[in-house]
Structure 1
């Protein structure tokens, strides 16, 4: 035996197809005797009967013994009918024949038989072995065929899966996905219809895209209850509905069968799709004829149903994302603020609006580039890390006024801008972060404005805190809303103490509070400025005087919003105004004194002239002329003092410095002042250093200083007083003091005694004249010499002391010998002289004086007249006034020098203008000399001798 195991020894059913009853019985007998198995037999006498019985048997017989020749067909035809879909007979077949030809055996084996045996040599054992060999061969072939079929099914399934995946991949429309899946599955299963049904609500299903072949397409909405409660429960439980033949299935009513027949459904697969335990869709596979559904077909249908629904859900989610992206892009495009969408962990620009392009100064070329590819300057800034963090954590990031540096402009200059922005994570259909939405506002202008405003505020605060004025701002409740730091110096209170409080809340006394409230309310009510002057006791500077100006500050509606008060410390101004008032008063006193001082010498001069008229004899003339000359000299000195003051005030005084000894200066001053001292009966004491003290000084001006001091002492000391001049050498300075025991100086006058026009009221029995210019000249001249002067006095009637301090000079190496000047000759040789002056009296008296001196003199009173007289008179010298009515003296001089007839005439300016500038102008205009009125006769004669030494022929 080939096998002795349980599988071989199981009972067999043997089907004998033979037209001979005897042969059937013989085969029956031989098998029973030759086999150890328990056998059962089924018989048929024709091929058709055998075919029907074998194909209808469930299960089929274990083996068929087939006669080669049958009355209705041969073995080849029977074998062809028994071949199944897999290419093999439904059971093993052994062909027996009365004529065992080899060729016939090969033919039946090729036709599908497993063995072949002749009746003439078939014994019990041979037939049994042939039967068992056939069964074993068929089983092995069937197993091999099933293995090949399984491999083919796997290959087909994988191929189908790949085709399905390739076809569905990339599809974004749910209807296209469903149609594609239905078409592919329908073709693969060779079904009549494949369709997707989606559950809508609790009661209906909606037929989606479907595949049909030789049947009608179904569409529309169907009720769930049409499935029947049993079928619906099966689907909702997640079990597949598998029906091979609806017409033969007792589970369907006749009405159901009729309905299915109308829909051309004979066999049906219902594949449920559940999500979270709920039925959401059904994949229906229909066949218009009964069909045995294999497990492979059911499995592939189940897989396709699940994959299709997953793809549909994904497409719907993607569609939502796309719709949201489209909506987002539309929103981004119209948003006034800058916006951009970056996708993926690489942060690739997907969308951006014009505002974003304007911000980064790039166009749409940045789309498709990563953030750092588009904007490489961000690599060293925090933004890439912030994007990574938002993408990884899914948490938004927002910032206000954040600084960012971008390359902008044609030169790509790195520019700082300021932005408010937010990074929002964007999520895909799977809920995972897929991108980032960047949205923000460019705040650069506002930040710059705020920075500028802050700078201006700091500058204004600095200006306000560094201005000497007190600045305050009041609201309508009279409260301080702004105060600068000057308030601390004035009130001793901190700025913070005043803010938000009114003056009354700061415990200001009632009276000034009333003043302030009235002034502030006036501005609020009338919208015009107001002013307020007040005094205040400061913590450290005593009582100070202030002047306030209050002005309205208007709002956009034109109403007064606040009142600004600027308070200025006018203490110094008040003092200066008082000084100006004092100076004006002193000037008035000076003018009165000047009139008095001028009248004093004029009175004896005028009286002298009257005396000369009444008694013109020589004795009277001899007596009265010295008086008139002395009084005239007094007037000249007054005028000289005034001229000196004018020169000093205009800065035109020039020192003629030279090396000289103090002793020389003192001697000159004593010579000038001694007559006044002796006339008053004063005693004079002079103490000078034994050695010469050398100075770098103007001898005339320094002598004038000491002369003024000595003359003051002589004038303001009672008759018989004492005057002391002493010089002391201290280091590189010499101190020259002039002291007296005279009227003294009040203490309150010591600080102003050197001011111009200052006069000290005297209580002496005799009044001494004076314009109050002397000490002012002293101070200025001493300062011009690099020295100082100080006044000291114990008080009224206790004398005074003036001390002049001057720098000393080094001793000169040698003193040049001073040649004695020969006296000026007054002998006249009689010159022709023309006097030109619009003051007729001055011109005529000068002519008379010149004629008395032996000269031939003429006069003219205007410029043109002077030119005419000069042409006919041909003078040797012309005394020419500068201020003439028709043309000035400079023009007359120019014409005289330009005319050959008068080109050699000497020209002397005789004018009341005697400043250094006046002398320079006359020299430039061609004048040979310059004399200032009034002029001494001796000076005139000396000038004539120097300019006209010889008589003209």
Structure 2
């Protein structure tokens, strides 16, 4: 309620009280009666206002008397009107408290302007923070004759403001010491706040960075600024957070890769007012992850080579010697000990099975033929299938990708599994293998015209398919199997021409990559 209206309400309420007394004595004139009716609504305001209202009469230097006090103020003070109204201020409180209020009233009278002060009062409800407004009222000669007082309880508001200040201080302490990048954008994508980590990363003060949008920032790679703006607009329009990975240039350094979470900040009406961006430079972590993957691949390759060598040199020699010994026993003692012939034949059969199993294991490990390159290894695989199964594989190598040792082994393993399955189960004696470059991808196809099968119904025999799919994921590709009963089988793999673990500082790596919800 405006101060002047409250002041009028207090003043007229006091007048109404006087008119009521005169009405009882029959002393009101017709004009006074009309005026009294016009002030009834102001008296209602005075009596039902939630703020404390009072009227003070100025009797002289530092002499003040209470003329009217509304119910809200009386209730908060825990006093009755008869204890205050009509009495001098210094008579209604202990001397120290009365002196403070008299000083406040006197300042208002002396300055003849509205006074506003906030202080703490000890009331029956406890310590309360109040704001008291004093409005001087002059008579016709210009002298201040009365003071209107308005008392507003500020306790909850002050406590809330203190809590907000504390939370803001805690937030700023957290944000300004956070190693991650924190940026606040307005609805148009312009920066309105950047934390110290952001300014350190850019090696600039905050001022030139504020007011810029990603579209104005040369630190982003081609296309990345538009992806950022698209994500910010999506947050503003949908009110949902967005995640994206972006490529940017750190001051004086190469291209970097960062992960960014964009979170909507809404007002009381639920409308997105700003967008908070939480970013982290992931370049070092991604490089370390790539180095770890490479180290693991090297370790697997070394272990495979060692196991292959030990199987072939140690176990292979033992099995060969055992087979020769069984043959010598059969030659030397079979005539004199007929039962030994059957036992020797059984032993030779078991050794042959062990040798065959060992060779299967060797083929599952990284073949030594890969040391000569992928194309020679595939040619050697084709000749081995022809020798063991009488199975012909027609090779169409329009090109061979340059791959790491692990990727080459994965691709070779897919081809080997597909051709072995065709040789054993297709019911035909031939298959076609083709590898060719299609734009930014390589395409591998192994196709036969055999009996085919239902890929979803292979049951326990799906282990080989799972292994092929796992190897395809190492190449960053997707394995598809197209097969129907009686219509042959095609094993198809498409994988990117770029390395599976590209350099994270390459700004083209994420070109065209959409952001994630």
Output the TM-score relative to the length of structure 1: 0.28
Q: Kindly name which structure, 1 or 2, has the bigger radius of gyration based on alpha carbons.
A: 1
TM-score normalised over the length of structure 2: 0.47
Give 1 or 2: higher helix fraction.
2
